[in-house]
Structure 1
Amino acid sequence: MPTNSTTKKDYWIIGFLLFLSFVPSIAGLVRIFQLTTGSGYTVENQRFFNDPIPVILHIIAVLLYSILGSFQFAPGFRSRHLRWHRISGRFLVVFGLLSAGSGLWLTWEYPRVPTDGNWLFGIRMVVGVWMFACILLGFSFALGKQFRTHSHWMIRGYAIGLGAGTQVFTHLPWFIIVGGEPSGIPRDLMMAAGWLINFVFAEWIIWKEKLFRN
């Protein structure tokens, strides 16, 4: 029987991950609405209207990956619903790989927008490849029944997948102090900071878990 503290911990973890997913999910749904209705057309988002299918697939995959994944990392919930964890985990792998793969395709194929600096293309490619590799490694370790290592790599992949949520906060100081949409190197650095924060946080969680088990 799970303790109250474990249940509360589950609520905090799930709630925090859903909170990080909220703003990108809303933005993604708005983008899908615009693309399907033809509204909100601008020069900046012209590339989405010219070829909408890849970005719609990317948004749906990211939305499902982030929301479904939030329930995978709550230890009490996971232990009480192992069958659900295993079945939904297979879908999570598909959504995660589709998120990373479509993100790489969008970065490679879509024309660069004027607000992007010279670094952002390379950063996005590195992040996309890293996320794809983390999920593949996590899945392979699960097949090999190395569940502890599987968990570590899935944490890494999911953390990168939630980068857009953290980027809301890395951009916030600019919006408050400077105002307007950042561009060039400042935008590149703020985007990179979101992924870096999540990467460091994931490694800290993994290190803490290893320390506790040892």
Structure 2
Amino acid sequence: MNFTTKKDNWIIGSLLFLSFVPSIAGMVRIFQLASGSGYTVENQRFFNDPIPVVLHIGAVFFYSIFGAFQFAPAFRNKHPYWHRIFGRFLVFFGILSAISGLWLTLAYPRVLTDGDWLFGIRIVVGVWMLFCIGLGFYFAIRKEFRKHSHWMIRGYAIGLGAGTQVFTHLPWFVIVGGEPSGIPRDLLMGAGWLINLLFAEWVIRKKPEMLL
């Protein structure tokens, strides 16, 4: 596909890069569930009740990968029809991502590495993602496209949280080693969503040319 500007290529490439590791990890998880391999005490909950995690992985995959193309200004302006069509599908996958994420949080037993804060953080970001996507769709219907863009950026930033969490965990793996647990894990997980939210607000408020 021919992207029209270097800015488009940079935006799409950056978002796809951030989506890459979680997408690969998700596909590996689905393969394990389908084949019955890789069973451990830690992931037993996924084998016992695979539906929510499979829905979540699939929804996040489509939302993050195909959503990257929605934020490339020249591509969006050159292909407004495809932006609208794909946008409707992505609203569905975004909402499914948020709902299945909340389902995972509420239905699955907490793993030993999770601290007390992470449950609440996941509930907050899941509800916030639903709110952002819903409001973004509302403004699209009203043809208030700048507001639509702002809220969709906020929702997509939440959806890419897992990609950023790979990098927030890296210093721990390098310096401390092993899997963080308790409050350190809660903070590192929360930092991934917080960084994305702050970056989204920076783009919205300081870089309006990236939206045009």
- Scaled to the shorter chain, the TM-score interval is over 0.9
Matches within 5 A, 1:41-56: 41-56=39-54
Partner of 1:70: 68
Partner of 2:177: 179
In the alignment, structure 1 residue 121 sits paired with structure 2 residue 119: yes
Matches within 5 A, 1:54-133: 54-133=52-131
DSSP-derived class of the 1:71 partner: helix
Cα 1:67/1:39, change in 2 over 3 Å: same
How many residues end up aligned between the 2 structures? 209
Letter in 1 for 2:137: F
- Per-residue deviation, 1:212: 9.3
Partner of 2:191: 193
Partner of 2:27: 29
Cα contact 2:161–2:196 (8 A) shared by 1: yes
Partner of 2:167: 169
Structure 1: which 5+ residue stretches go unaligned? none
Q: Deviations over 1:148-183 (max 9, x none)?
A: 000000000000100000000000000111111110
- Per-residue deviation, 1:210: 5.0
Letter in 2 for 1:129: V
Q: Distance in 2 between matches of 1:17 and 1:148?
A: 20
DSSP-derived class of the 1:113 partner: coil
Cα 1:194/1:81, change in 2 over 3 Å: same
Runs of 4+ in 1 over 6 A off after TM superposition: none
Letter in 2 for 1:125: I
DSSP-derived class of the 2:71 partner: coil
Identity of aligned residues (%): 78
Structure 2: which 5+ residue stretches go unaligned? none
Letter in 2 for 1:158: Y
Letter in 1 for 2:12: I
In the alignment, structure 1 residue 8 sits paired with structure 2 residue 6: yes
TM-score (norm 1): 0.95
In the alignment, structure 1 residue 208 sits paired with structure 2 residue 206: yes
Q: Deviations over 1:56-82 (max 9, x none)?
A: 011000000000100000101111111
Letter in 2 for 1:178: V
TM-score (norm 2): 0.96
Letter in 2 for 1:127: V
